[in-house]
Structure 1
């Protein structure tokens, strides 16, 4: 499976790899509970286009995070319209997490999207130390997504996302999540705060149905993933995505037959992430203990010298 083409000259921006990424240095936009409730109430009265207009003015360092699903494509088109009507409006870049296991049809779609929106900058983030599937499997092993699913999610999605947020200094992201997608998403708000990163998450089409999204795509002739016509409604990695029936939830084809509904990007910290956090905390405690022991030894030596 071919990788997505990169290069600044083509409108893509490829991220440098780093294993030391952290969201600790990210700029924070602080919203109180009352402020969040007020903003969500205001957004409930707006159209999706006006929500996006508002978000581009309200939030600094705003990006769109997308895997080029239908909702993300609608958002791109609306952002392009905002840019066209107000050239002075900030240009919103797109973050794409290339797990290296996307369908060929998804990579083909990105090329068509770039042709449709030539001024769009796509920031591509891949697993650390891998530019293609062969390199990924040489470094992490074949079938990692089956043998150690949460470890795979961390390597292929969560760590690249954290690296993207850090390197791009992201303060807020536009997502394609909608309540009608089912699962844990049925209680979404228009604006949320990720408690683990402090990132503001904005869901401008949160109240749209699948049919509304699809109708917009058709009406505005926006390129979309051809797998949609084969029964796929929500498309991720090829190894964990299946077609769905008309009566199933939109995301029922993701990790079909398992209780899992999210990959680690939008859900609470995975067990593997918790393990890494625990390891870091243990190392910090060990370092602090060593510093304390060293300080006590110096005090004892000083006292012994003064007695002599």
Structure 2
């Protein structure tokens, strides 16, 4: 049972298999169009203004549904370049991205949990500053669009275009599931899509200032996230069974 009020029922595995079989050869734009037609205003797009996948999807989505709802999570620790990219996207696409953030200020978090929680317990820090605000963002929604790709990390190798999100109790749409990084960059350059300038400084994956570092050589593109901690996901996209403890 999800911790948010579900407004759509979980589909049977056979139904998800059928949908993904139908979309197996679909373009990202066709997947987005399918989601728009299926979920209408119940659909919302998550864009961090950090990753290239999210920017490519944003460009595609506004061409299909110009008034699509867009949200981002303001952790209070975003890079200035991320805010810059958001402002460029607002000017370019005429969007009004909705910011969601925890009510716990950085100062209040330090007072409650101690200084630099991200160093001592990055899972808890992400839960407070990313997972719970996302839960709020998805309330009342039937589906959300994400930038997940199979090539991003070992934890994402089985991503499919349409999934059921047990954590939040709605459909998860991954239009770029089968694309690789080169294909995303090709789209970015072909369509002159704005992207976070930190990508040109060795940051293939961009999160919070305290937990993001450059990546070198042949390292995994997400190796710069929580480097040295063993952590590879913020908690938003970890697959869960059908029940979840509120402490997770």
TM-score, normalisation: structure 1? 0.73
Deviation, 1:206, is 0.7
Please say if residues 36 and 192 of structure 1, whose CA atoms lie closer than 8 Å, have aligned partners that are also in contact: yes
Residue range with higher mean Cα deviation, 142-151 or 40-49? 142-151
Partners of 2:4 and 2:169 within 8 A in 1: no
Give the one of 10, 13, 16 matched to 1:36.
Answer: 16
Quote the Cα distance in structure 2 between the aligned partners of 1:175 and 1:135: 30
1:244 aligned to 2:215? Answer: yes
Partners of 2:125 and 2:104 in 1: CA distance: 14
> Given the alignment of the two structures, is residue 73 of structure 1 paired with residue 55 of structure 2, yes or no?
yes
Query: Of the two structures, which has the highest relative contact order with CA contacts closer than 8 Å and spacing of 6 or more?
Result: 2
CA apart distance, 1:59: 2.0
Select 1:104's aligned residue among 74, 80, 91: 80
Q: CA deviation at 1:135?
A: 5.7
CA displacement, residues 51-103 of structure 1 (integer Å, 9 cap, x when unaligned):
1111100124111112121111111111121136xxxxxx3211211111111
Secondary structure of the structure 1 residue equivalent to 2:71: strand
1:185 aligns with 2:156: yes
- In structure 2, C-alpha distance between the alignment counterparts of 1:208 and 1:239, rounded to whole Å: 29
Gap runs ≥5 in structure 1: 1-21, 85-90, 278-308
> Which residue of the other structure, out of 78, 96, 117, is the alignment partner of 1:144?
117
Contact map agreement 2:147 2:176 (CA 8 A) in 1: yes
> What do residues 263-303 of structure 1 show as CA deviations (whole Å, max 9, x unaligned)?
1111146xxx84637xxxxxxxxxxxxxxxxxxxxxxxxxx
Q: Does the 8 Å contact 2:202/2:214 carry over to 1?
A: yes
CA pair 98-140 structure 1, distance change in 2 beyond 3 A:
farther
Is contact 1:192-1:201 (8 Å) kept? yes
Cα shift at 1:218: 1.2
The structure that is helix-richer by fraction is 1
RMSD of aligned alpha carbons: 2.0
Task: Report if aligned partners of 1:128, 1:155 keep a CA contact under 8 Å in 2.
Answer: no
Q: Could you tell me whether the CA contact under 8 Å between 1:29 and 1:171 is conserved in 2?
A: no
Q: Deviations over 1:108-145 (max 9, x none)?
A: 11111111111x12111111243xx4565456543111
C-alpha distance in structure 2 between counterparts of 1:232 and 1:42, whole Å? 35
User: What are the residue-to-residue correspondences of 1:187-202 with 2, within 5 Å?
Assistant: 187-202=158-173
- Counterpart CA distance in 1 for 2:246 and 2:97 is 32
Query: Are the aligned partners of 1:26 and 1:165 in contact in 2 as well (CA < 8 Å)?
Result: no
Instruction: List runs of 5+ in structure 2 lacking aligned partners.
Output: none
Shift of 1:217: 0.9
* 2:134 is equivalent to residue 161 of structure 1: yes
Aligned residue number for residue 284 of structure 1: none
Shift of 1:36: 0.3
Aligned residues: 242
